[in-house]
Amino acid sequence: MNSERNVGQLYDAALKVLTPPFKLAWNVMAKGLEHLPPSGPAIICPNHTSVLDSFFLPLVLPRRITYVGKAEYMDDWKTKYLFPALGMIPIDRSGGDASAAALHAAQQILDRGELFGIYPEGTRSRDGRLYRGHTGPARLALQTGAPIVPVGIRGTREIMPPDAKVPKPFKACAVNIGRPIDVVRYRSRADDRMVLRQIIDEVMYSIRELSGQDYVDTYATKRAETLPTETAKVTTVDRSHDGPPARNGVRSSAEAGAHAASGGEEQQRSSADVLGAARARVRRT
């Protein structure tokens, strides 16, 4: 990870070279750019359905972005030089230390007041659906105080489907940028896993609204595809019983236990339930 400052040295030149042919070959639209902070750190969280997502996102952003990507991209001649030129830091995902290294690199980027991009699903969606988000972006936001900006990318999977050798020209894609999610109010409970899950569920809900994808409450990793995946549990409270209100909608395990002991009924809901409830609240308002 000692090369992160060398990554992206050709960023400006790469954009100048790639932007004209990309915009000639495809109709690239960007919406919601006004939601992107004009300065200071921010964590950009897009959906991921095509290898081209990592090309189109830097092309439409008015600010430089650095992001992490799998080290396997360095083995492919098509991406070996382009991705690092566009600001990708290659990460070996084979061991646990890789995640720590990625977060360390990200924190340095955010400390410099720059944009850091990370795909919360952890990998590309092979079937085009939106999968359950990992909590790394939420943890990083709590550690740095940087807002999370959800992004929904549409059309890139049609331009370059999984396993396609070359992209299809003359198609359209859109990069939709959502409102930043400020996590400062949660920082006093940064070690609470329920808080991390609540934050990333909010991010995934926003991405779903921006991308129009169907949501699947399992991880999009190979492990999740081949082994049973435990549904994430989010503690909620039955309001038919009296009890102290949950702070920001989330109770700690101690508060939940105390409320249950006093007669409150604790329920558990999956991430999909949380997303559905959030959507219903938005519709009512």
Q: Over the stretch 233-244, which tens digit does the pLDDT of each residue have?
A: 333 334 344 444
- pLDDT at position 148, please? 98
Q: Over the stretch 28-63, which tens digit does the pLDDT of each residue have?
A: 999 999 999 999 999 999 999 998 998 899 999 999
Q: Over the stretch 76-97, which tens digit does the pLDDT of each residue have?
A: 776 777 777 777 877 766 555 6
Residue 73 and residue 94 in contact, taking contact as beta carbons nearer than 8 Å: no
Domain architecture of the chain: domains with CATH: 18-63+113-216 (3.40.1130.10), 223-284 (no CATH)
- pLDDT at position 261, please? 37
- pLDDT at position 26, please? 97
- pLDDT at position 199, please? 97
- pLDDT at position 40, please? 97
Average confidence (pLDDT) over 218-226 = 62
Q: Cα–Cα distance between 177 and 33 in angstroms, integer?
A: 6
Q: Over the stretch 116-165, which tens digit does the pLDDT of each residue have?
A: 999 999 889 999 999 999 999 999 999 999 999 999 999 999 999 998 99
- pLDDT at position 198, please? 95
> Of 154 and 272, which is predicted with more confidence?
154
- How many other β-carbons are positioned within 10 Å of the β-carbon of residue 104? 11
- How many other β-carbons are positioned within 10 Å of the β-carbon of residue 235? 20
What percentage of the chain exceeds 70 in pLDDT?
A: 71
**36 token code pair:** 């992107």
* Confidence check: pLDDT of 7 > 80: no
- pLDDT at position 103, please? 73
Tokens 């000692």 sit at which residue? Answer: 2
Question: Which pTM was predicted?
Answer: 0.74
> Of 106 and 217, which is predicted with more confidence?
217
Residue 186 confidence class, pLDDT cut points 50, 70, 90: very high
* Confidence check: pLDDT of 99 > 90: no
Q: Average pLDDT, whole number, for the chain? A: 78
Listing DSSP states for 139-151 in one string gives: HHHHHH-PPEEEE
Among 9-18, 54-63, 147-156, 254-263, the range of highest mean pLDDT: 147-156
* Confidence check: pLDDT of 224 > 70: no
Tokens 């702070």 sit at which residue? Answer: 247
> Of 273 and 248, which is predicted with more confidence?
273
* Confidence check: pLDDT of 110 > 70: yes
